[in-house]
Amino acid sequence: MRLIWMICGLLSLGTGIAGIILPLVPTVPLFLLAAFCFARSSERLHFWLLNHPKFGPPIHDWQAHGAISIGAKRLATLSIALTFGLSVVLKLKLLILLIQAITLCAVLVFIWSRPSA
Give residue-wise pLDDT tens across range 56-83.
998 999 988 999 999 889 988 998 999 8
User: Do residue 49 and residue 79 come from a single domain?
Assistant: no
- Provide the domain limits for residue 51: 2-65
pLDDT exceeding 70 applies to what percent of the chain? 100
Indicate whether 59 and 81 sit together in one domain: no
- 60 and 18, same structural domain? yes
Q: What is the block-wise mean pLDDT of the chain (117 residues), using blocks of 10 residues? A: 95 92 83 95 94 91 90 89 94 96 94 91
Residue 55, judged by CB atoms within 10 A of its CB (0-12, 13-18, 19+), counts as buried
**Positive/negative CA dihedral, 47, 53, 55, 61:** positive
- Single-letter residue type at 37: C
pTM of the model: 0.76
Based on the fold, state whether residues 61 and 103 are members of the same structural domain: no
State whether the Cα torsion 83-85-91-96 is positive or negative: positive
The 10 Å CB-count burial string (b at 16+, else e) for 15-51 is: bbbebeeeeeeebbebbbbbbbbbbebbeebbeebbe
| Residue 88 sits in the same domain as residue 107 | yes
